[in-house]
Structure 1
Amino acid sequence: MHLLFSYGTLQQDKVQLDTFGRLLKGQKETLLGYTLGQVKITDEAVIKSSGKEYHPILISTGDVNDQVEGSAFLLTSEELKHADNYEVDDYRRVEATLASGKQCWIYAAAE
């Protein structure tokens, strides 16, 4: 299983059902060293699922005083691939450590 930290649209029920075919049960977590920006989404399928043209995006600052609140979800390898397909090219999946010390995957700005 893979732990995925979500701070945006992957927390929405409709997005979870469209992406994973089920509702996810997550735990509240905090990610340090990041802030949130906004990215314009042009993929119509993603906009239809989320209902939003602008999505939040993690921007690395390296400053532990910067924090982003979200939820951590346990996903299978297949579900993680579905999450990769949902996220547009502006995002890249990278490993991170949560404030709790747990290792997880995050989707952060690709630049």
Structure 2
Amino acid sequence: MSTELLFSYGTLQLPQVQRSTFGRELDGRPDAIVGYVLHHLTINDPQVVAVSGSDRHPVLRPSPQPHAQVAGTVFTISPAELAAADDYEVDAYRRVAVRLRSGVQAWVYMLAE
């Protein structure tokens, strides 16, 4: 079975979001993305707000400080679960492949500009 790595720094770490999005709670390990800082977006999608419990979601933005880091969790998921994560995330986010502090490459959602 093929797998994907997904780095989450926000609501995809929440058990209720995982159960709603993936039908299960995910096992993950701590990691971080380097060169970014957190900002927040206001989410207008009522389903996403209902699942996450908030209309304010974090979003990554590049940092002028090269050593800035945002902590999060790396999850190993199936391609179908990655597609479910794409469906969960609103249009303000885009999925990109990044190298994490640990050296692994993973998908992450960041601001679609």
Range of TM-score over shorter length: over 0.9
Separation in structure 2 between the aligned mates of residue 19 and residue 59 of structure 1, nearest angstrom: 24
Q: 1:46 to 1:32 in 2, by over 3 A?
A: same
Q: Which amino acid aligns with 1:41?
A: I
Question: What is the aligned partner in structure 2 of residue 19 from structure 1?
Answer: 21
Separation in structure 2 between the aligned mates of residue 27 and residue 66 of structure 1, nearest angstrom: 20
SS at match of 2:25: coil
Deviation per CA, 1:68-110: give whole Å up to 9, x if none: 0000001100000000000001100001000110000000000
Equivalent residue runs for 1:3-42 within 5 Å = 3-42=5-44
- TM-score normalized by the length of structure 2: 0.95
- Runs of at least 5 residues in structure 1 that lack an aligned partner in the other structure: none
After TM superposition, where is structure 1 displaced by more than 4 Å over at least 4 residues in a row? Answer: none
Q: CA deviation at 1:62?
A: 6.4
Question: What is the aligned partner in structure 2 of residue 68 from structure 1?
Answer: 70
- Runs of at least 5 residues in structure 2 that lack an aligned partner in the other structure: none
Q: CA deviation at 1:66?
A: 1.0
Aligned length: 111
RMSD of aligned Cα (Å)? 0.9
Q: CA deviation at 1:64?
A: 2.8
- TM-score normalized by the length of structure 1: 0.97
SS at match of 1:17: helix
SS at match of 1:24: coil
**Identity across aligned pairs (percent)?**
47
